[in-house]
Structure 1
């Protein structure tokens, strides 16, 4: 007996299981590019199957795979046979803290290729992450079109940058935009990733900290910072001081970004423990997840922040120090 209801989700491994709705859309061929970036995930031929699925979900999309020039030639050939544009990047000597430079390199190269091919919008997508939602592009594009921003903004953005809700402590940690995927105008995503590399050569900053203290805090993640914070921070730093208070960050988030839930896109991240995605995506309340469930920013939380429904208080500035990952 349990005090809880148990739910589960099935996600097909193979693209062959997809049954299209046959609803037509106004999307034009080549309007949208998907940039799959990073190492090719070969478990269950995950990246290959993702491409096959995307061919069915987004029939007019340009699919670009931005990976490394040491990739097995047979894998590259398979990607080409699947109809992908393949961008092979030279390995870089300094990985950056938490391998952030690898993400910057492959994302920027893929997005630049998307622009060359004429795509107005782009989705930057980890190669080990998959979107299952049909019409996800139309949904994301509609969010950008419905939630416009000032054309004279200091960042030179055409529209909002959309990300998926994170799996940890976004609510009280400034500049935490989850880096699983980004969607927006192609020019805006190029702007986001056209940033300096991190000069540190540290692959796994978490392991060293776990070995000594057995715990990570939100404060530590902000100080180093974690890759997803690092990218946002370096982008903002191109235009002004990036040491934003939480209040400043909420204002930036509400004006220039948009956060959707994993369920909105039916995403699957083929990494770490997948058995309890509800906890991983912070879908549980405080009893089942962290002490304070509102350390996570869901799509509904984001809308409340955008519309100034949450009252900012000074105690929130230091809340990240109380957030721990054990």
Structure 2
């Protein structure tokens, strides 16, 4: 029986945490393929794994966001990977659980597993966390390679833009959200299962305030989307 291979893709600009994150992944997953996908202006000489560098996409107008950064960065990283199961994450996120791939295998699923932080409630249509995805290579290749680039004409949170396009345009599924959510996605606990440590949630007070407001439900969906997207623009 063929052994299932695993890989980790870290996408984004080089951050203060990037090298320690790579080193921890190498310690926790010594047999896994590890790739960093970042921009061609970064000094990557000290990153201790395979690195893919890409020209930064042109900014969109009139609305700017990180949507195309993530789409293009993930495409170029994934095409260099051969692993059966891939954890797509960011260059500023620790994933401390050394058994994360075992969680995926135990589920025996081809869905996209994502960290459920608790504040992105099911009532928010097409809202799935995009910063971490755990799935088969085929699923992630379909997700990112078929994802349409953003043309800048709409002001929509990255999470909602990606989820909506994946379900409606890539899967061609217009059934109610409460049905399709469980068809294509599987949430696992942010802290207990993924054991995530997020650089900007530790150091950026503004980001902490956004999440606190969301958890207390005193901010509208549209306002939350805009705040998160603006915060992403300042940290990517």
Please give the TM-score of this superposition, normalised by the length of structure 2.
Answer: 0.80
Is the partner of 1:140 in helix, strand or coil?
helix
Quickly say closer, same or farther: Cα 1:254–1:57, change in 2 above 3 A.
Answer: same
Gaps of 5+ in 1: 1-26, 149-158, 202-222, 296-318
Q: Give the match for residue 13 of structure 2.
A: 39
Residues 264-303 of structure 1 aligned to structure 2 (within 5 Å): 264-273=193-202, 289-291=215-217
Q: Identify the structure with the greater strand proportion.
A: 2
- Is residue 157–residue 226 contact of structure 2 (8 Å, CA) maintained in 1? no
Deviation at 1:31, TM superposition (A): 0.6
**Aligned mate of 1:225, from 156, 160, 175:** 156
Give the distance between the partners of 2:93 and 2:86, measured in 1 at CA. Answer: 16
Please give the TM-score of this superposition, normalised by the length of structure 1.
Answer: 0.59
Aligned residue pair count: 221
Give the distance between the partners of 2:223 and 2:26, measured in 1 at CA. Answer: 44
Deviation at 1:97, TM superposition (A): 4.2
| Greater RCO (Cα-Cα under 8 Å, separation 6 or more) | 2
Q: Give the match for residue 184 of structure 2.
A: 256
Is the partner of 2:114 in helix, strand or coil?
strand
Is the partner of 2:98 in helix, strand or coil?
coil
Is the partner of 2:79 in helix, strand or coil?
helix
Q: Give the match for residue 230 of structure 2.
A: none
Deviation at 1:272, TM superposition (A): 4.2
Larger radius of gyration: 1
Gaps of 5+ in 2: 228-236
Determine if the alignment matches structure 1 residue 85 to structure 2 residue 50.
Answer: yes
Give the distance between the partners of 1:142 and 1:281, measured in 2 at CA. Answer: 31
Determine if the alignment matches structure 1 residue 181 to structure 2 residue 132.
Answer: yes
Deviation at 1:53, TM superposition (A): 0.5
**Aligned mate of 1:103, from 37, 52, 70:** 70
Is the partner of 1:224 in helix, strand or coil?
coil
Deviation at 1:167, TM superposition (A): 6.2
Q: Give the match for residue 205 of structure 1.
A: none
